[in-house]
Amino acid sequence: MSKELLRMENITKIYSNGFMANKDVSLTVHEGEIHALLGENGAGKTTLMKILFGLEDYQEGRILIRGEEVRIANPLDAIAKGVGMVHQHFMLMEGLTVAENIVLGIEPGKAGVFDKETAVKMTLEAAEKYNLPVVPNALVRDISVGVKQKVELLKALIRGVRLLVLDEPTAVLTPQETRELFVQLRDLRSRGYGIIFISHKLDEVMEICDNVTVLRRGRVVGTGRIADLDEKKLSSMIVGREVVKTVDREAPRRGDLVLEVRNLSYVDDIGKIHVNDLTFAVHAGEVVGIAGIEGNGQTELSEVITGLRPATKGDVMINGQSIKGRNIDQIRKLGVAHISEDRLVYGCAPDLSVWDNIASIYLSSKKFARGPFLSKRELNKFVDECIEEFEIATESRNTPVRLLSGGNIQKVIVAREFTSGANLIVANQPTRGIDVGTASLIHKLLYKYTREKNVAVLLISSDLNELLNHSDRLLVMRKGRFNAHFTDLSRVTDELLGEYMLGVRSMTEEEMGNVL
Amino acid sequence: METIQSFLFSTFRISTSIVFVALCATVSHQAGLTNMAAESMMLTAALAGVIGSAVTQNLFLGLLIGAACAVLITLFLCFAAFVMKVDLYLMSISLNMALAGATVYVMFVTTGQKANTAAYFNSLQVPAFRLPLIEKIPFLGPVLSGHNGFTYLAWLMVIVVWFLIYKTKFGLRMRAVGQNPKAAESVGVNPRTVYTISFMLAGLIASLGGMFLSMGYQSFFIRDMTGGKGFIGMAAATIAGASPLASAVIAYIFGFADAITNYSKLVITDAQFLAALPYIITVALLLIFSALKKKAADTAHRKRRLMALERGEAQAS
Ligand SMILES: Nc1ncnc2c1ncn2[C@@H]1O[C@H](COP(=O)(O)OP(=O)(O)OP(=O)(O)O)[C@@H](O)[C@H]1O
Ligand SMILES: [Mg+2]
């Protein structure tokens, strides 16, 4: 048996508002072990890790590192004791270089002068040692999410930590980047590092983890060796009931044209072409999926359609009306709802309450209007219904959104957008960071809205299973263009899709057929 | 010729305190906060410097006392904002108002005057310097040489602040906190410490701008002698995107506006209009700068966009 790195015993955490986020939680991690920490949104995973990293205090229990009881006062203290954390939301300075981000807090140099060269050297050495290649002088805002994660890992490793906490590290990664990360994690495991791995993607957990601890409502509801479990058992441990993942899909009844994109191009400020002369359409009653390796223009496409970015060329028609010259509000009124990828930036106002965030889209609409005022009573009722239907774990409708767990923040946005009455839903990564139970709820809703309410859905995702199981047609995007179009998804496999995504294969215009 | 030379000379002289304030605002801005309390720091230093130097009859001690008083004000501001959690900006504005009053009060108690300290305190002045070699350069010599010590100190300060922000460990921490305080905290950089130190540095720099007015330009304190320069400096730093060099350049342009006003006294006689003129020019310049900046950025973007599209089309065909 290898040496014990960390033991958390009977940790109880009560937040200042009286919410008990952890109750009697125990967790043990050994050297050379990847330990999965699973649970629904709001189960208390991040809270437990924040305690370990000195970001939150706790009321009961003890923490032992290498058998020695410790009290971790703050993150610096945690790092000194060998615990490093890669947060669910990256903790990087966008305007600083990679090297500056990595050495911040332990800057090299004499007499207060920052020695940039040594910093670059330190970065390169660590990058080589841990097999995490980065460009030290690149600005963080210019690097991809996958590289940002490497920077986060290096930041922890260079400080000599032995236990790494990764809070949903793969949520933002492409399949390729995930595979690369796993190679690196296995490498670290073989060097005796302990890793705590939080994820909602059970196939990943099955692939890389050794042991698992499952939390539900702040309590441990199961532990075990991954080798003894399978995905189905894991998901019923997490949710407390069986999760039926696949819905039987009837063929869609295609209705009117809802979204029509004609020769659309989008080029950004620095001249990079993200969307290159795209033409396609989405009809009422169908889900059109867009696959692609992240950074091939999917996000930009969805943001042009919803008015967050201006089209450089071409046009977008929604319900027969062009979005040209309309602002976001006017575009929404054409019937568009948008679940944006960057939930904390565009999706919600973190300091405002759940109520404010959901009600925000009805401020100028007639739905809840009472003369010049809003009917607070009706809105309250409506918001409460949303909270119930989408199972948002929140103290009350007046809780600020920033206090919710990552997945529950996403649920607030999904609830608002789904109920907005739009007949086009642009969903960019709608289930990223969402637990299995809720993800299947969202998928069911997508299905129900298209079939029963004749809504058109544009589904953009990096999760291939999500795309294959929940779209009616599928387009593959690469370098701003489409290179494949599938109308019958039953015969499409992950591998085939991957080949198109990577550009190993591509369809001709004839093979793609009618994308309208 | 000589008019132009003396006009440029006075531009440099007048700009001195604006440059200091712009640098003060730059330092705070880099740490992620807007320094709206520069007025109060300047006024306090201006009065404290005069009294200090007059009482001790030691120029250096006087400067030290002036600077120390400004830093004390900053410490109080930081204590209120970061420990007592008072809103920083409300506190800054109240400090400006409080110290505009308090300086007059102190002046009245010590001198019995409410307008200025000229008759009572004999403040020491920082002398003017002649620059040995530069002095000889034709045309530029008389423009650059013979300025007050503060004016040269302002030039030096531009480089010092640049070095501080981009070359020191503390500068890196400052920029880090300015961009993402939570992330900085997660690697053990305490944002409150960084805010406090950078505000103290800002206060120190602002105090020089204040003392230039009462111990360089004049040798006495006049009530409200900063006349909104704290805000003009803040505007300069904001337009410059908190770059020390650009802040200084813009501060000089604002100083230029002041100099124009001074020279218009020869032709314009309406005192009220003259008093408003520097502010009118400042507002106009602000608008012009922002418009120019935006336009330049827009055309650059459009060009890059179109070029990229053309390149793409050329490749496709
Ligand atoms: N500062 C806070 N004050 C009060 N309650 C909080 C605070 N932070 C989190 N919570 C609550 O604690 C619970 C657990 O949150 P936590 O972030 O640990 O969940 P999680 O398991 O990480 O979920 P997810 O998978 O969605 O990230 C949530 O219900 C959340 O609303
Ligand atoms: Mg979490």
What is the greatest pairwise CA distance in chain A? 72
Mutate to test the pocket of ligand 1, among A404, A414, A432, A438 (most ligand atoms within 8 A of CB): A404
Cα(A172) to centroid of ligand 1, in Å?
A: 19
pLDDT of res. B270: 85
Instruction: Answer yes or no: are the C-beta atoms of A408 and A394 closer than 8 Å.
Output: yes
Q: Which residues contact A16 (CB under 8 A, 6 or more apart)?
A: none
Nearest bound ligand to the CA of residue A354: 1
Q: Which residue has the higher pLDDT, A346 or A421?
A: A421
* Closest alpha carbon to A71 in A21, A11, A22: A11
- Better-predicted residue by pLDDT, A118 or A393: A118
Place of tokens 């002041």: B258
Residue A377: strand, helix, or coil: helix
pLDDT confidence of residue A125: 95
CATH number for the B2-264 domain, one of 1.10.150, 1.10.3470, 3.40.50, 1.10.8? 1.10.3470
| Distance (Å, whole) CA B215 – CA B54 | 10
Element spanning B16, H or E: helix B2-30
Round the average pLDDT of chain B to a whole number and report it: 90
- Determine the pLDDT at residue A285: 93
d(CA A452, CA A491): 26
Under an 8 A CB cutoff, do A104 and B173 touch?
A: yes
Phi, psi for B97 (deg, rounded to 5)? -70, -45
CA angle A145, A146, A151 (to 5 degrees): 90
Whether A61 contacts chain B with CB within 8 A? no
Nearest residue on chain A to B166, alpha-carbon basis = A114
**Per residue of chain B (317 residues), what is the pLDDT tens digit?**
788 899 999 999 999 999 999 999 999 999 999 999 999 999 999 999 999 999 999 999 999 999 999 999 999 999 999 999 999 999 999 999 999 999 999 999 998 888 888 888 888 899 999 988 888 888 888 889 999 999 999 999 999 999 999 999 999 999 999 999 999 988 889 999 999 999 999 999 999 999 999 999 989 999 999 988 898 899 899 888 889 999 999 999 889 888 888 888 888 888 888 888 878 887 888 788 888 888 888 887 777 667 766 766 665 54
Average pLDDT, chain A: 90
Q: Rounded to whole angstroms, how far apart are CA atoms A82 and A156?
A: 9
- List all residues whose CB is within 6 A of at least one atom of ligand 1: A 15, 17, 19, 21, 39, 41-47, 393, 403-408
User: Can you say whether the dihedral through the CA atoms of A347, A353, A355, A359 is positive or negative?
Assistant: negative
A160 CA from centroid of ligand 1 (Å): 29
Confidence of residue A484 (pLDDT cuts 50, 70, 90): very high
Instruction: Over range A275-296, report the average pLDDT.
Output: 91
Q: Which of A241, A257, A303 is nearest to A429 (CA)?
A: A303
A363 touches chain B (CB under 8 A): no
- Strand order across the A68-70 sheet: A20-30, A4-14, A60-65, A68-70
Taking the C-alpha atoms of residue B173 and residue B167, their distance in angstroms, rounded to an integer, is: 11
Contacts of A93 in chain B (CB under 8 A): 175-176, 179-180, 183-184
Query: From ligand 2's centre to the CA of A42, what distance in Å?
Result: 7
Mutate to test the interface with B, among A79, A86, A100, A104 (most CBs of B within 10 A): A104
Q: What are phi and psi of A459, to 5 degrees?
A: -110, 115
Structure token digits, residue A105: 């807090």
Strand stretches in A199-295, DSSP E = 211-216, 219-225, 257-267, 273-283, 287-291
Chain A contacts of B172, Cβ < 8 Å?
Answer: 96, 100, 104, 107, 114
How many angstroms separate the CA atoms of A206 and A404, rounded?
27
Distances (CA, A) of A434 to A237, A338, A411, B311: 16, 17, 8, 41
DSSP per position, A314-368: EEEEETTEE-TT--HHHHHHTTEEEE-S-IIIII--TTSBHHHHHHGGGTTSSTT
CA distance A206 to chain B (A): 30
Residue nearest to atom 31 of ligand 1 (CA): A404
Which residue lies with its CA nearest to atom 29 of ligand 1? A42
Query: Ligand 1: which residue has its CA nearest to atom 11?
Result: A404
Closest CA to B169 of A73, A76, A118, A152: A118
Is the four-CA dihedral B220, B222, B227, B233 of positive or negative sign? positive
How far away is chain B from the Cα of A311, in angstroms, using its nearest Cα? 11
Tens-digit pLDDT profile for residues A369-378: 888 888 888 8
- Asked if pLDDT for residue A297 goes beyond 80, the answer is yes
Res A351 pLDDT > 60: yes
Alpha carbons A365 and A351: distance in angstroms, whole number: 23
What tens digit of pLDDT does each residue of B109-153 get? 998 888 888 888 888 899 999 988 888 888 888 889 999 999 999
Task: Give the three-class secondary structure for A21.
Answer: strand
- All residues of chain A having their beta carbon less than 8 Å from the beta carbon of residue B308 are 267, 271-273
pLDDT for A28 equals: 96
What pLDDT score does B295 carry? 87
Query: pTM here?
Result: 0.80
Give pLDDT tens digits for A220-254: 999 999 999 998 899 889 988 776 656 677 888 88
pLDDT for the residue B118 = 84
Using a CB-CB cut-off of 8 Å, the residues of chain A touching B186 are 55, 75, 85, 87, 91
pLDDT at B71: 96
Residue whose CA lies nearest to ligand 1 atom number 1:
A403
Per-residue pLDDT of A94-123, as tens digits, reads 999 999 999 998 999 998 999 999 999 999
Q: Which long-range contacts (CB under 8 A, 24 or more apart) does A87-91 make?
A: A87/A152, A87/A167, A87/B186, A88/A46, A88/A167, A88/A168, A88/A171, A88/A198, A88/A406, A88/A433, A89/A344, A89/A406, A90/A148, A90/A149, A90/A152, A90/B183, A91/A152, A91/B180, A91/B182, A91/B183, A91/B186, A91/B187
* Residue from B29, B180, B190 whose CB has the most chain A CBs within 10 Å, to mutate: B180
Contact A263, A279 (CB under 8 A): yes
Shortest distance between the Cα of A384 and any Cα of chain B, in A, equals 32
**C-alpha radius of gyration, chain B, whole number:** 22
Length of chain A: 516
**pLDDT score, position A491:** 84
| Residue A237 CB partners (closer than 8 Å, separation 6+) | A38, A214, A221, A222, A229
pLDDT score, position B303? 76
> pLDDT digits over A118-140, tens only?
999 999 999 999 989 999 999 99
Give B-chain residues touching A79 at CB under 8 angstroms: 187-188
